[in-house]
Amino acid sequence: MYMKLNQLIKNISTVVVIGLDTIDIIGLKLDSKKVVPGDMFFAVRGSTHDGHDYIEDAISMGAVCIACEDIPQARNNTITYVQVKNIEQVIGHIASTFFNNPSQDMKIIGVTGTNGKTTVATLLYHAVSELGKKTGLISTVHNCIGKEIIPSTHTTPDAITLQSLFADMRDAGCTHIFMEVSSHALVRGRVVGTQFTGGIFTNLTQDHLDFHGTMDMYKQAKKMLFTLLDEGSFSLVNADDEASLIMISSTKSSVVTYGIQSGDLQAHIRSSDVSGSTVIIDGKIITTPLVGNFNIYNLLAVFGTLQQLGFDDTEIISVLGRIPGARGRCEIISGSNNVTAILDYAHTPDALKNILITINEFKKETGKIICVMGCGGDRDRGKRPQMGRIGAQLSDHMIITSDNPRFEDPIRITEEIYAGISDNDIKKATIILERKEAILYAFQCAKSDDIVLVAGKGHETYQDSNGIKQHFDDKEIIEDFLGKK
């Protein structure tokens, strides 16, 4: 595959182009180490590295074109330089053009929000697949092209990888794509160049303030998805979350709302009653394997999206009763000794609160809740004491442990979690730094009818410490202990 440079950049605003614009471009690269002869290299300023520092490396690897915000003082006369004001806002457009605008050939639904993105996207992927369409999934857990599973490295891939993945999905015959859209991806321009059929907003609670700085900036980042939507698309937002008003304040799309309670928006799609595994949505009874109030919101979002995509209510009700949830999201693992384990990705205060409230609702009166949790290093420190307070308040015994410490001292992380626990609950808390030891200790403490919640990592199969990712799977440890393997 190749394309003339002047074709690639015809729809973007450039400051200046120095050199021939008729050269052939055979590939697009963000990493100078992966450049091959004939590539176009994008010099992106990241949080830790500046791509401008690697321009000469890219040229030495065979790059024939450099896209950058600053033209190097020492230029190579055999190279074409394309200068733009904001490199991150043009990569997606160029990548989409290079791969022949794949998003225009499929129905692409973006899901954003603090919690629920993975579950909603995964449920939609399974539902539409069950309804006979070849479907793609882009999620935190993994990516899928039909039934083919592809490992995932980010919630939302970089702009070049994303457009390449769209092209693969289109070429494989996919008609519908469901993808998580993170706030990082929106700010960094990863979905620029993508034509969305619809956007879903789940909720907004504290997370990622290490990146965004304030809740308002975090909110504005989420809003960017709905600003991207055109008049022929739809926005489906949670009427019970006050941030929804901001999300849709400047969208050109049609707006549909869903909810359980009476929020600032009147919900078009509403759940009127919940009883065990039965949910009533718009008067229609749905039997579901999913539990918890937060999953009712997820089901409402899925129900509304399927309606917007033109599926019949009868088909929707049938399929929602048999599709599985996402791995590591309120995943229940039962043991032979009457101890139940629940694996959940809860890594925000709101998510931890929701899963613990749900467990308290369905646990037996004779049972206790043992919560194993931690917080990731090099991430929003403000949520740590909040999660400590919530975890101790809503469980009978909380074991604080390591999550992904990354380059931060795990002792400091656990101390900051511990600092949030109220005096009344302090006796409930135990600190065990080694995660495997903490999980095993929780089960050793558990008695018949008890529930052990292992929170924070969910689907992840690694632990990130000091720049090294080692294999670590909460589910494997749980199943080994409970004798499930």
**Domain check: are 311 and 433 in the same one?**
no
Q: What is the model's pLDDT at position 275? A: 57
- Longest Cα pair distance anywhere in the chain, in angstroms? 78
**Domain check: are 173 and 224 in the same one?**
yes
User: Of 46, 73, 97, which residue constitutes the final position of a domain?
Assistant: 97
Q: What is the model's pLDDT at position 154? A: 80
Q: What is the model's pLDDT at position 280? A: 85
Phi–psi pair at 141, nearest 5 degrees: -75, -55
Q: What is the model's pLDDT at position 326? A: 76
Q: Decide if 325 is inside a domain.
A: no
Cα end-to-end distance, the chain, whole Å? 46
* Model confidence, pTM: 0.83
Structure tokens at 1: 């595959």
CB 32 within 8 A of CB 58: yes
**Domain check: are 278 and 381 in the same one?**
no
**Domain check: are 24 and 130 in the same one?**
no
CB 30 within 8 A of CB 51: yes
**Domain check: are 121 and 243 in the same one?**
yes
> Which CATH number goes with the domain that contains 235?
3.40.1190.10
Q: Beta partners for 183?
A: none
User: Of 97, 118, 146, which residue constitutes the final position of a domain?
Assistant: 97
> Which CATH number goes with the domain that contains 447?
3.90.190.20
Q: Decide if 326 is inside a domain.
A: no
Q: Decide if 360 is inside a domain.
A: yes
Tens-digit pLDDT string for the chain (485 aa): 789 999 999 999 999 999 999 999 999 999 999 999 999 999 999 878 899 999 999 999 999 999 999 999 989 999 999 999 999 999 999 999 999 999 999 999 999 999 889 999 999 999 999 999 999 999 988 999 999 999 887 888 999 999 999 999 999 999 999 999 999 999 999 999 999 999 999 999 877 666 667 988 999 999 999 999 999 999 999 999 999 999 999 999 999 999 987 666 778 998 865 655 678 888 888 888 787 778 889 999 999 999 999 999 999 999 998 887 778 888 888 766 788 899 998 999 988 998 999 899 888 889 999 999 999 999 989 999 999 999 999 999 999 999 999 999 999 999 999 999 999 999 999 999 999 999 999 999 999 999 999 999 988 889 999 989 999 999 999 998 887 65
Residue 279 gets the label, from left (phi > 0), alpha (psi -120 to 50) or beta, of beta
The crossing angle, in degrees rounded to 10, of helices 313-320 and 293-308 is: 140
Q: What is the model's pLDDT at position 262? A: 61
C-alpha span between 148 and 26 (Å, rounded): 27
> Which CATH number goes with the domain that contains 43?
3.40.1390.10
**Domain check: are 361 and 390 in the same one?**
yes
**Domain check: are 57 and 183 in the same one?**
no
The crossing angle, in degrees rounded to 10, of helices 349-362 and 293-308 is: 110
407-417 as b/e, with b when 16 or more CB fall inside 10 Å?
Answer: ebebeebbebb
What is the number of other CB atoms lying within 10 angstroms of the CB of residue 292?
A: 18
From 298, 346, 295, 349, select the one nearest 453 (Cα to Cα). 346
**Domain check: are 314 and 459 in the same one?**
no
* Domains held by the chain: number: 3
CB 156 within 8 A of CB 185: yes
C-alpha span between 321 and 328 (Å, rounded): 19
Residue numbers of the domain that contains 384? 331-482
**Domain check: are 44 and 113 in the same one?**
no
Q: What is the model's pLDDT at position 152? A: 82
Q: Decide if 290 is inside a domain.
A: yes
C-alpha span between 75 and 437 (Å, rounded): 56
